[in-house]
Amino acid sequence: MDFFDVVKNRRSVRSFEPNPVPETLLKVILEAAQWAPSAGNRQARDFVIVKNPETKRRLCEAAFGQGFIEEAPVDVVVCANEKRSAAVYGSRGKNLYCVLDAAASVQNILLAAHALGLSTCWVGAYSDEEVAKALDLPEYVKPIAIIPIGYPDEKPEPPERIEARAITHRERYKASEGSRSGF
């Protein structure tokens, strides 16, 4: 599949078929996640794979009842490892770089899954504390995203997008609404 097709055709899916995700595909997805860029190559992210129904139920509850988290065959919880980044970058590593490392991995997971015929949804609405409890995360590992993965049971329409030129600025930010300073 062409990279630009993958980027443009990926959708957030919230309804999944019950078919399991093969371990071979999950391995490819996680490898893509690990190849995401990271600050200073600290790779300050960790992945928790969740298939256990009880743990998925707890994640669903932590995510304010978003049932598709429990419905998906597998959930990947992407976490920022503050300690790994802070060891080199101090507070900036702890508060920002590890989050960026994790977010870059999230994007790779979404795109890799789509390229393999699977669907995902980037879930960011949840109680950090409840997710941490459900997964026994150490205090220096923070959940950044819950990503349900499975075969889609729906085909969402493409969302509207702001034109790139409307949000692109050259040399300086031009604050006027509707500025066309980009392309």
Residue 66 lies in a domain: yes
pLDDT by residue, tens only, the chain of 183 residues: 899 999 999 999 999 999 999 999 999 999 999 999 999 999 999 999 999 999 999 999 999 999 999 999 999 999 999 999 999 999 999 999 999 999 999 999 999 999 999 999 999 999 999 999 999 999 999 999 999 999 999 999 999 999 999 999 999 997 765 555 556
Residue 27 lies in a domain: yes
Residue 86 lies in a domain: yes
Q: Collect all residues with Cβ–Cβ distance below 8 Å to 21 and sequence separation of at least 6.
A: 73, 74, 118, 149, 150, 151
Does residue 145 contact residue 106 with C-beta atoms inside 8 Å?
yes
Residue 173 lies in a domain: no
What pLDDT, on a 0 to 100 scale, did the predictor assign at position 180? Answer: 54
**Rounded-to-integer distance, Cα 16 and Cα 70, Å:** 10
Residue-range definition of the domain harbouring residue 51: 3-158
Residue 72 lies in a domain: yes
Give the domain CATH number at 12.
3.40.109.10
Residue 179 lies in a domain: no
Closest CA to 111 of 5, 39, 16: 5
CA-CA distances (angstroms) from residue 94 to 46, 50, 120?
14, 25, 27
Task: Work out how many domains the chain is built from and give that number.
Answer: 1
Residue 178 lies in a domain: no
What pLDDT, on a 0 to 100 scale, did the predictor assign at position 1? Answer: 81
3-class secondary structure for 68-79?
A: HHHHCCEEEEEE
